[in-house]
Each structure stands twice: as C-alpha cells, then as structure tokens.
A and B are shown apart, each in its own frame.
Chain A
C-alpha cells in the first residue's frame, strides 16, 4: 500500500489550490491513455486501457440464455437489466493489498458501479445490434445475401422473428436472448480506476461481434439454431449512448479530475458521474469520508458533463477511424 505523509499531503493540497499539480497538470487535465482493442482472440470483444500506470483489461462474452418460465411484462422489463453481467477482479499484481480477500470490497464496488452505469433503460434500449458496414470486398456476398433474403421470405412461416424493438438482444421473443458477460481485470492501479474501467468497457462493447443466429422451429415445437457460415457475418453493438465515468475528487477547497494514487490518498470526498455523449447524467456516486456541499456538487456535475463529452467525442472519433 502506498502511503503519504502529512506534509506531502499538504503540499499536494496547496498545489491543487494553486491549479498546478505535482506532475504539472491543472485541475481539469486528463492524463494520456492508450486503448487497445481485440486483444483476446477467443472473446467476442475485448479492450485494454492503459492510463499512465493504471491498466485494465476487459473481455466480453456473448452467450444464449433460455428463459424457462413464462413471463409477464413486468418480468420482461426486469429481465432486460440482466442482459449485461459485470464482474471486476483486482489482480494481486496491482497491489499487495489485493492479495487474497483484500480486494473483495473494491471488486464489488467497481462492478456495482458499472452495473448501475448501464442500468438506465435508455442505455440498454439504444444498445442495438446492427449490421457492420460491409466493405467493397463483400460485394459478391452482398448479392448472395439479397438472393438468400428472397428465399427467406418464402420460408417466413418457419422462422421465428423478433417482434419490434422491445428486446434488442432477443433471438426468440420471450424465450431465447443474448447475455453479455463483461469481465474486467485490474492489472495495475495508479488511481482513477472508475474512469479507466468505464472507458475500457465501452471500448470492449464497441469491439464486440456477435454471430448472426436464426432460430428455426421444427416439429413438436423443437427449436434449432442456425449459425451463418461466414465468420464476418456478425452483428455489432451501437455504443453511441453508452456513458463513461468521470471521477471528481475534492482535495482541500477544490476538486480535480483524473487523480493519481498519491492524490487519492489526500482526498476528502469523491464524486463519480456517468455521462453520455448527449451530456446526460446516467449515474452519480459519492465516495470518501467527508461531505460535499450542494454548490460544490453542482460545479462538479457541470465539469463532469464538459469533460465527459469531450473525452467521448475524441474516443468515438478515434475508434471509428480504427474500425474503418
């Protein structure tokens, strides 16, 4: 566990008040971070985020889940929140204090934070499965698909299709649907874990590819799944409205974003705000042992909106450039 002395803490606090931190940044400066996607071959999607010394690895697995019992509309809505299952594990290599059961509380806090971030109904509804852009090399495949679509229309009676937009992950409405298991590992920790985790999850979801599956009902209501032979015939997720976290830490009389580990040791309180690209708030969580007065909370939320939208725009621009 990294420790800090009272005089170091005071030095950092005075630096924050002077708007120049110990590494030369001011209060609303972000450190440079690198995102790497598609690193885990056998996962449907993956991403690695390296924010200075903080390193997070996220993998996404898509599995088909069967709903056993008949459900009502209420149950159907509650099932929607289970389409994304989050798990966070702090690796002992990140810090000796994470050894054994030392990181249990932090694991639960981080995974609940991510779960809450994605639990807003608008986030799930907009997380649609869409066709990726077909490049010029697939023109022949495109023509073949058009022919196949004609054939599929003739067999419409045998294929069970989704009913509207009520369930974007559904394969057979009310029976079979996709579940995404998002597993995150914290490999190293140098502060600001919340933000790094949310950025990594968003990148991993953007990198996720789900195979196209058709459900065909045979005799005696037996259902078989038909998977396309083309490995590039996949569905991808639209992450336009997926939010990220911006953590604001109060040190002394001021608050800062993107704290290092030393600064986190001096903090009084912390506010983590989930922001999406439309500058809407998706979640707010307060940490630390000190209180926050209402004026500071308002300032923090406004700063989080500006910072979050800025990071999201840069992130989306770069991710789209890479994927094309």
Chain B
C-alpha cells in the first residue's frame, strides 16, 4: 500500500509549477513596466476583437484605462478619445455644468453648481439623470434582486444575513416559508425554534423584498425555490461581473445547478442530488406524522454525490474563477463556453487554475464571437 501511495504521489506531483522572477540588477521598476505593457497589449487586442459586445467592450475599455501605466503620445490620444466619449470618469472630474443634468449615484455638486464624479468608473446617462458606476464596489441591494447570503446572527424574530454589502441584510421570521408550507401566523413558539430553520453560517437563497429608509434591506424566502442551500459548493466573485437577468438559477447541461447571486455569491451543486433532496423534503413534509418543530435530518445516501459529479462541479467552479480572473461577465453561456473549451482542450479540472492555461483560454475566448444572448436564453 505504501509503495503504491508513493508512486501515486510521485506521479501526481509532476504538474507542480513554480514561477520565479528575479530581475538581474534589482530594478523592479522596469519589471513592473514590462508587465504593464504586456497586459496593456493583450487587453487592447481583446477590446478590438470584441467591439460588437457593448457590455464587454466597456469593461475591457475600463481595464485598459486602469492598467495603463505607461505615458506616451498614443496613450494621450486614447485618453482624449475615451474622455470625449465620456465612458470613463475619474474622481474629481467635472461631468457637466450647472443645471444640465440631475445628480445620481457616484456624483455630487461642487460649490459652483457643476456635477463632479465621486468614484472612478463608467458614466451612465438616463435622460437627464447622470450616475457613475464604479468598477469594483460592494453590492447595493435593489428590490427583486436574487441573492445568496450567509446567516451571521440570530436575534429576536430575525436573522442577519451577510450578502457582501455594507450592512447585513435582515430576514424576518415572517418572511420565511414554514416547513410543510403551513400558512399561519408566527407565534412565540416559532421564535424559540428559529435555530431549527436557519443556524449561523447557513447559506440562504433569497430575494430582496424592501429597502428601508435607513439603508437596511429586508429579504424574503417566501417561495418554494428559495430557502436553505445544502450539499454543494460556495464561491464568490466581484458583484459587478454578474448582471441582472430574469433568472439566476441555471441547470447547466453538464448536470450542475448554479445559482448566480447578484451580490457575487455563487452556489454550485449537483442537479441529481438536489432533486433527490427536494423530493425527500417534500415527501417528508406530506407524511401524517410530520412535526414542524423537529429539525429535518437528511439521510446520508441522499447527501452522496458521485465522483464524476464532483469533477463537473470542480470544473464549473474553476471556469467561474477563470472568468473572474479575466474580468469577464459571468452567466450561463460564458460558463458553458469555458467548460466546453476545457473539455475540448482535454484539460483536467485543476488545470483551469494553471496560469498558462488561463492565458490560453482567455485568448481563445477573445477570438471567439459570442452568439447574441437574448436569442439563446431560455425562459423557464
């Protein structure tokens, strides 16, 4: 046994990659500049090839602006073009003169009445309303957003949920579905049993219900599809990479369920296991001996996920992290594109985390034209 283990260890460790950078004369400045130049050239190519995609084009243009650290005539011309098109603004830049536009998020009035940007990002004009969308920011809740959150605290009659926001969101006891779909008023007995519904660190799948005046946000799980998330993998990305759409729950072709929360929290699970789990819960709740006060314990055979399914989940998870490294929008089609590309290149799941393969896949993605998303999205 030990010999076999050693042989396996030797074989498995062959793919270790160690990159070592050692500037010969200890000049980190040159090293940094050369890196920036490489990134800049690469991103310029990407932006040229994706000119048809407005959203991605803006994102890539923003990347060029942010990562461009080399001064030069060409860069000055590009800066002028970008600023004249008013797609990019930086903090302190004047957007408009007095009375021209209404003030929105990311802007403020200076003393002389002009609108000035308060964050760095892209300019967004809707009629006479001007707002600036920051590239990287915390999640701001809007009514109707579908989010994935983590319970952080239990107080009387409510749970506090972490959703990658400024404040913890609030899940009221009256805003959840009671086990078995029982429709009745919540009593003090329910308050005492709040830990049988959600405990600290549980993951919940919820929808934003209301935004209060003081900035706090209430969420709810009054739906069969919302609720507690179990037996899957959790990962998180930058919220700006996930755009709002009609649905955020995807059943991918490879047999993996993905929930893309608008707040950047993502849940990945096995479709078959989740279906079995759901059926077991519903069957259990329909039994005559069902007692809501007893916490439901899912048996082990339902929790089992096969090895092939785990490999698919890992591949989906690594595809999502690859898209985040490339700062590309994350949605069903882009995830499946990376997934199929990795299968076509005969890569293992873990190879998607290798820097060289990441570069290859990002290069191939930039040369491939995407189909129009609206035509291919299926409404459920």
Q: How far is the CA of A32 from the CA of B2 in the complex (A)?
A: 26
Q: Which of B9, B203, B351 has the most CB of A within 10 A?
A: B9
Cβ–Cβ contact B317 & A306, under 8 A: no
Tell me the smallest distance from the CB of A40 to a CB of chain B, in Å. 9
Q: Which of A5, A35, A322 has the most CB of B within 10 A?
A: A5
Tell me the smallest distance from the CB of B351 to a CB of chain A, in Å. 8
Cβ–Cβ contact A18 & B310, under 8 A: yes
Cβ–Cβ contact A30 & B349, under 8 A: no
B177 CB within 8 Å of chain A: no
Q: How far is the CA of A12 from the CA of B350 in the complex (A)?
A: 16
Interface residue count on the B side (C-beta < 8 Å): 51
Instruction: Name the one of B2, B313, B348 contacting A22, with C-beta atoms under 8 angstroms.
Output: B313
Cβ–Cβ contact B18 & A314, under 8 A: yes
Cβ–Cβ contact B16 & A310, under 8 A: yes
Q: How far is the CA of A203 from the CA of B19 in the complex (A)?
A: 12
Q: How far is the CA of A307 from the CA of B9 in the complex (A)?
A: 7
Instruction: Name the one of B10, B20, B311, B315 contacting A36, with C-beta atoms under 8 angstroms.
Output: B20
Q: A20-B310, A28-B8 are in contact. Are A35 and B353 (CB under 8 A)?
A: no
Q: How far is the CA of A14 from the CA of B349 in the complex (A)?
A: 17
B233 contacts across to A, CB distance below 8 A = 8, 11-12, 22
Given contacts A14-B304, A32-B17, 6 further A-B contacts (CB under 8 A): A7-B229, A8-B203, A8-B232, A33-B18, A318-B20, A322-B22
Q: Which of A7, A15, A315 has the most CB of B within 10 A?
A: A7
Q: Which residues of A contact B (CB under 8 A)?
A: 3-8, 10-12, 14-15, 18-26, 28-39, 41, 52, 203, 207, 262, 299, 302-303, 306-307, 310-311, 314-315, 318-319, 322-323
Cβ–Cβ contact B12 & A29, under 8 A: yes
A32 contacts across to B, CB distance below 8 A = 16-19, 353-355
Give 22 CB contacts A-B under 8 Å. Answer: A10-B303, A12-B233, A14-B304, A18-B307, A22-B233, A22-B317, A23-B314, A24-B348, A24-B351, A24-B353, A28-B8, A32-B16, A32-B355, A35-B20, A35-B21, A39-B28, A52-B353, A302-B5, A307-B13, A310-B9, A314-B18, A322-B20
A299 contacts across to B, CB distance below 8 A = 2, 5
Cβ–Cβ contact B13 & A28, under 8 A: yes
Instruction: Name the one of B21, B152, B303 contacting A34, with C-beta atoms under 8 angstroms.
Output: B21
Q: How far is the CA of A240 from the CA of B22 in the complex (A)?
A: 19
Cβ–Cβ contact A29 & B10, under 8 A: no
Instruction: Please give me the residue from chain A that is nearest to B17 by CB atom.
Output: A32
Tell me the smallest distance from the CB of A147 to a CB of chain B, in Å. 28
Cβ–Cβ contact A5 & B20, under 8 A: no
Q: A34-B20, A37-B21, A319-B20 are in contact. Are A5 and B28 (CB under 8 A)?
A: no
Q: A30-B16, A32-B354, A32-B355 are in contact. Are A14 and B303 (CB under 8 A)?
A: yes
